[in-house]
């Protein structure tokens, strides 16, 4: 099996550093399925591209990201 870290996966600490989000928020995004992640033992591994896409989408929404009535996009590619 390939090393997941070498294949575009990062730790929550690296994800937090990359985006400016807190580690707790990154874990929350992972738990809620907002980003692609895998929990191995007690550590979450985050797919880097998924995290960057999420951060890009949130920046593009601007103040609308706080609107509870906005239409959220599904994570599936269907």
Residue 77, pLDDT > 50, answer: no
Non-local (6+) Cβ contacts of 25 within 8 A are 16
* Domain 4-60 coded CATH 1.10.3470: no
Residue 6, pLDDT > 90, answer: no
Task: Compute the average pLDDT of residues 31-43.
Answer: 94
- The enclosing H or E element of 52 equals helix 48-61
pTM: predicted TM-score of the whole model, two decimal places: 0.75
């Amino acid at each position: 099996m390939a090393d997941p870290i070498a294949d575009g996966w990062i730790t929550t600490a690296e994800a937090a550093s990359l985006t400016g989000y807190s580690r707790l928020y990154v874990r929350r995004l992972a738990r809620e399925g907002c980003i692609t992640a895998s929990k191995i033992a007690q550590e979450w591994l985050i797919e880097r591209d998924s995290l960057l896409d999420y951060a890009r989408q949130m920046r593009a929404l601007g103040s609308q990201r706080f609107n509870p009535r906005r239409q959220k996009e599904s994570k599936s590619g269907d």
